Amino acid sequence: MKLTGNTILITGGGSGIGLALAEEFKKLGNKVLVAARSASKLELAARKGFEPLPVNMSARESIESLARTVVSRFPALNVVIHNAGIMKHENLRTTNTSDIAVETIATNLTGPILLTTALLPHLSRQPEATIMTVSSGLGFVPLAMNPTYSATKAAIHSYTESLRYQLRGTAIGVIELVPPYVQTELMGERQLKDPAAMPLGEFISEVMVILKSQPNVPEILVKRVQPLRFAASEGQEKYAAVFEEMNDRVSAARAREF
């Protein structure tokens, strides 16, 4: 992925990792389009010099409308970053979590697939293009209290692998960004201030170093996420130990909210 001279669409770009990436890419001389559902976040994006675009990533009509708008208004678009996502607790023993599951799958998995499908004809006409998905370390070692979120991130990893294979030999590169637990508002104020989470600035700084030094990297893996990413590669016992330790620790820490 080239780092300057792009027109970049970032979904979920109004806060957290998406907004931080938008700011970094803007500094490098890229035109950045920020798509989000929240009007207040779009207003913030506009104040920061980004092009604000409304979208509901859980609704097919909204996604397809976004794609048409972007292609029409910004024909130089050559990069899309699928960052929008939601993460909610699901106590499968005591609560009917069907609505959470449907919303999570629509936003985190179906949404990026539909937007990719809608934009592929346009991106294929560009001299150079990039599709970046955002999965999670939890796609490789799931957090049991967030089963659907973890499952969607595992699915996004799988989809990205297939997409990259199908687009081999074309001008479209496919990159997967795999965040660890980062200080954002994904799950509210507690996560934003949790000292156990990686500071957002440190995460983004390491991501940009990787992109600058390895422009063709297939997966962006900061050091903090590598124990989860490669847990399964160290054998079944090691994976089971990592799974149990993480889930026992987090379950104890979040017992009240879960």
Q: What is the pLDDT of residues 171-219, one digit of tens each?
A: 999 999 999 999 999 988 889 999 999 999 999 999 999 999 998 999 9
| Bridge partners of residue 65, in order along the sequence | none
Stated length of the chain: 258
Is residue 258 predicted with pLDDT exceeding 80?
no
Catalytic residue among 149, 159, 165, 181: 149
| pTM exceeding the 0.75 threshold for the entire prediction | yes
Q: Give the C-alpha separation, 121 to 11, whole Å.
A: 19
Q: Give the C-alpha separation, 78 to 89, whole Å.
A: 35
* Strand runs labelled E in the chain: 7-11, 31-36, 51-54, 79-82, 129-134, 172-177, 219-220
The reply to whether 181 belongs to the active site is: no
> Looking at domain 7-225, does it have CATH number 3.40.50.720?
yes
